[in-house]
A and B are shown apart, each in its own frame.
Chain A
Amino acid sequence: MKGISKRFPLVTALSDVSFSVALGEVHALLGENGAGKSTLMNLLRGLLQPDEGQILLQEHPVTIGSPQQAAALGIGMVHQHLSLVGTLTAAENVLLPRLPFWISKRRLQEEFAQLRSRFGMTVDGRALVAELPLPERQQVELLRVLAPAPKLLILDEPTAVLTIEEAARLALCLREHVGGGGSVIYISHKLDEVLAVADRVTVLRRGRVVAAGIPTQSLDRAELAQQMMGEQAALSSQLQEERSERTGIMTERAEILVVENLHVESDRHHRVLRGVSLRLRAGELFGIAGMGGSGQHELCEALLGTRPVHSGQIYLGGVNIGNFPTGKRRQLGLGVVPEDRLLEGVAPHLSVAENCCLNPQLRPQSWLSQSAFVRKARTLIAQVELPESALSAPVWTLSGGNMQKVILARELAAPSLRVLVAAYPCRGLDIGAIAAVHCLLRACCQCGIAVILLSEDLDELLSLSDRIAVLVAGQLHGECAATDADRTTLGLLLGGVIP
C-alpha cells in the first residue's frame, strides 16, 4: 500500500500511509483504538475506497471494489465482528462459498474434518454457530477464511476473545498458513501478543505510520509502546498513592448498591449470570473486567431493569429494586452508560438537545418546546466541553466521542444519581475522548457517586478502579483492591482460566 489517505466527513482517518507485506511473513499492525487500523483494513477488504494513493498486489496496482473482488484477489479477512451465520452449522459456515448444488451432510462433515485437522482446530462441525462459545466461533471464522487458501490473510484483533491456549493454537495455525506461502497481516494493540507471532511490525498512530516494518527481533519494546501511545505515559506513581489513600477512606462510606446472588437468563434461556454478588460504597469505582459475552450485557440489563431477574436481589440505597421498572430505578438514582451507544444510548435522528433530555426525569418542566430543550441542554453540555453549535444537529452525525459525551452529560445531570453503570464507555473512541471520559468518571467518584465500570481493557481498569473483579462465565472472580491486583492472575482469569 502506498500513500493511502482516507477522509470521512468529520475526521481524516488515514493520511499518507504506506506499508508492505512480504510473501511468507506475519506482519503486525499495531495501534491504539482509533489509530486507523480498521479503516486501513476495510480498504484492503474492498469495503472502502481510498481518497488518495493506491494498493499494489504483487507489484500490480489493483482496485478492490467489493469483498468479492478482495476474495478473488486472494485476500481473506477475520474481522473483529465475526461474519458468521448463526442459524447454520459450523461446517456449513466454513464451506458455504464452495458448496455443491445438492448437499450431502456426510460429505460436508468429512470435508470440514479434513480442514479442521489441517489447521489443528477442535470445533464441532455439526454445532449451530449461534450456540458455540465465542472462542470456538472464532475458530470457525478462521477456518472459513483459511479454507480457500488466501494469499493474504488479515486478522483484526484476533485474540480479543481467545484464551491463552487458543491464542497459542492460533499462532501455530498462522505458521502453517505462512509455511504454505501465504502472508498475514495481524492487527492488534497488544504488544506481547504481536511479539509472539509477528515477523515485522508497523505502528500507526492517529492515521499516520510512526514506525514502519521493524523486525521483531531488533525491537525496543518501551520505545514502541511510547510511539503507539503518543505522549500519554503510563500510570504515574503519584496517582497510585492518591488511590491507596482513597481506599482507606472508602471503607467508612455507606454501601449504596448491593447485589446478592443474581441469576439472569439470556434471550435463549441460557443461564448467563450465575450467582453474581457485589457491594458498592458511595464514591467507589468498581471495575469489572472480562470479555464481552460472558454475562456483561445481561448484568447491565438486569441492573437497569430491561431484563427480568431470575433470582437474587438488587438493593439500591437499601431498597430492593429487583422488580422495579427502569424509570423508577432511575428516579432512585441509577444511571447507565450503555454498551451500544448508537442503539441504546441515543435516539439517533433526534437532535443533541433533545437527546440531552431523553430521560423523563430530565425533561424541561411542563410543556416542551425546542427552545426549552436547548436551554436545558446548554447547561448540560457545558460540563463536557461540547460546542454549543452542535445542539441542533441530529446525534448520529456526531463522532463516537462526542456522542458518548452527550450520554455522559445526560446521565450525570440526573439530580438523584447515586450509582452509574458504565459499560465499555471508551470502546472505539479516540485518545482525546477516552481521556475526557476517564476524567468524567473520576469526577463522578469524587462527588460520591458509585461507579461500576465494565471494560475489556485491563490497563484502563487498573488505572481507574478502587476494586476490581473479573466476570467470567457468569460469575465474578478474583475480587481485590486495584492496588493489590496481580496482572498475571487477572490476565489468566480474563483468558478464562478459573482457578
Chain B
Amino acid sequence: MSGLRLVPRLVITPRRQVLQSIVALGLALLVGAICLLLAGLSPLDVYLHIAEAGLFSIDGLADTAVCATPILLCALGLLLPFRMRLWNIGGEGQLLLGAWAATGVALFLPSWPRSLLLLTMSLAAMAAGGLWGLIPGVLRVRLRTSEVLVSLMLNYVALAWLRFFVFGRWSENGFPLTPQLVKSAWLPRLLDWAERFPILAGLPSHAGFLWALLLAICLGVWLRRSPVAFDLRVIGDSSRAAQTAGIPVGARMILAMTVSGAFCGLAGMIEVAGVVHRLQDRFSPGYGYSAIIVVWLARLSPSGVVLVSILFGALLVGSKDVKPSGVAQLLQGLILLTVMASEIGLRYRLVRTLPKDKI
C-alpha cells in the first residue's frame, strides 16, 4: 500500500483546536468570497466593511455588544443540551416567547418600580422560554420523539403566537407592533449617561451585555465544578454508560432542555427591554439560529461562546447595511460547514504509508 492513510489521534490539544478553527474560518471566507462574486459583489469590500463597521469603531463596538447579547445568552443556554448531544434547535422560538412574556408583564404592570418590573419580566421570560424548551425535552424522554423536529416546529408555532399578538391583541393602531413600553421597563443604557459624559452619546449598549457576561462566568464555573454538569458530560459522551452508572439520564435531559429554553427566553426579554422597547414582528434576525452555530464554533466551551458571540455580533452589525441581506447568514453557515468538515483533521492525522508491496 502506498499513499496516505488516516490514523486516529490519541490526544487533541487546545492549540490544535484553535488552529483548526482558524483554518476553517479562512476557508469559509474564501468560499463566501466566491458566492459574493457570483452575486456581483466585491468580496474584499464586503469583508472590510463588516470588519470596520462591526469591530473597529466605538459606535460599531457598542452596536456589536448589543447584537452579541442575545446570541450570547441563547448560546449559553444551548450549550447544556448540546453537551449531551441533545439538539435544541428551538432557541429562536424560546427567545420569541420570552420576549412575548416580558412584553406582557411590562404592558400590564406599567406602574411597578423599575427593579421589580425588570425582575418580573426576566422571570416571566425565563418561564415562558423554559416551558418552550421543556416540551421537546419531555416528549423526547417520555415518548422518544425527535427533539430536533419538535423544537424546530415550535419555532414556527411561537412565531405565529407572537404575530397573533403583535398584529392583533396588542397592536398599536393596526401596525405590527405593540405600544412602546414604559421607561421603567427599559434596561439602563450607556447613552443614558450622555449628559454627564458626552462621549457616550449615541451608544446603545445596555446592561444586558454585562448580565450575559456574568451569566457566562457563572455557567463556566458551574460546568466545571458541579456534579450535575459532570453528568451532562458523561451523558454526552455515552448515554448508555451514564445509564449503566446510575445517572438519571431522562431527568438530566429534561433539565438541560428547560434551562436552555429559559436562557433563550431571557435573551428575548433583554432584546425587548434593552433594544426595541416594544414587541414587533421580525425583531429577531434569527439570533436563536446563530446561537447554534456559535455553540458549535466555540466547541461547547463558555469562554469560547463569549468570544464567538462577539465576533458574530460584529458580523451581524457589519453586514446590516450590506445588500443583499443574506450575507451574514451565508457566512455563518459556511463557517459552520467548514468547521464541521475540518473536524476530521482533529480526530485523525494523515500518515504517508510507504510503498512496500512492490518488492
Contacts and interface: CB of A to CB of B under 8 A. Distances in A.
* Contact, chains A and B (beta carbon distance below 8 A): yes
B19 interface: no
A344 interface: yes
Interface stretch (A128-136, A189-197, A219-227, A354-362): A354-362
Interface of B: 1, 10-11, 224-227, 230-231, 233-234, 237-238, 240-248, 353, 357, 359
A396 to B, nearest CB: 9
Interface in A362-379: 363, 367-369
A326 B246 CA distance: 5
Contacts of B233: 347, 350
B230 to A, nearest CB: 6
Interface in A49-79: 49, 54, 61, 63, 65
A325 B238 contact: no
A344 B245 CA distance: 9
Contacts of B248: 325, 327
A422 to B, nearest CB: 13
8 contacts: A9-B10, A328-B246, A329-B246, A344-B240, A347-B237, A348-B237, A354-B234, A368-B226
Contacts of A397: 10
A209 interface: no
A198 interface: no
B244 A345 contact: yes
B318 to A, nearest CB: 37
Q: Which of A358, A363, A393 has the most CB of B within 10 A?
A: A358
Interface in A332-361: 336, 338, 343-350, 354, 357-361
Given A336-B244, A347-B241, A368 B234 contact: no
A65 B246 contact: no
Given A9-B10, A61-B357, A360-B231, A327 B241 contact: no
Nearest to A414: B246
B39 to A, nearest CB: 41
A228 interface: no
Interface of A: 9, 49, 54, 61, 63, 65, 304, 306, 325-331, 336, 338, 343-350, 354, 357-361, 363, 367-369, 393-394, 397
Contacts of A306: 243-244
Nearest to A367: B225
A281 to B, nearest CB: 25
Given A49-B1, A325-B248, A347 B242 contact: yes
A361 B245 CA distance: 9
A277 to B, nearest CB: 24
Contact of B238 (A329, A347, A393): A347
A350 B243 contact: no
B244 A344 contact: yes
Given A306-B244, A360-B247, A347 B230 contact: no
A7 to B, nearest CB: 13
Nearest to B7: A9
Contact of B241 (A325, A331, A346, A393): A346
B351 to A, nearest CB: 12
Contact of A368 (B224, B241, B244, B246): B224
A358 B245 contact: yes
A178 B240 CA distance: 45
Contacts of A54: 357, 359
A254 to B, nearest CB: 25
B240 A343 contact: yes
A347 B353 CA distance: 32
A368 B230 contact: yes
B227 A368 contact: yes
Nearest to B240: A344
B337 to A, nearest CB: 23
Given A357-B230, A360-B246, A363-B230, 14 more contacts: A49-B1, A326-B243, A326-B244, A326-B246, A327-B248, A328-B246, A330-B245, A343-B241, A344-B238, A347-B241, A347-B242, A361-B246, A368-B225, A368-B230
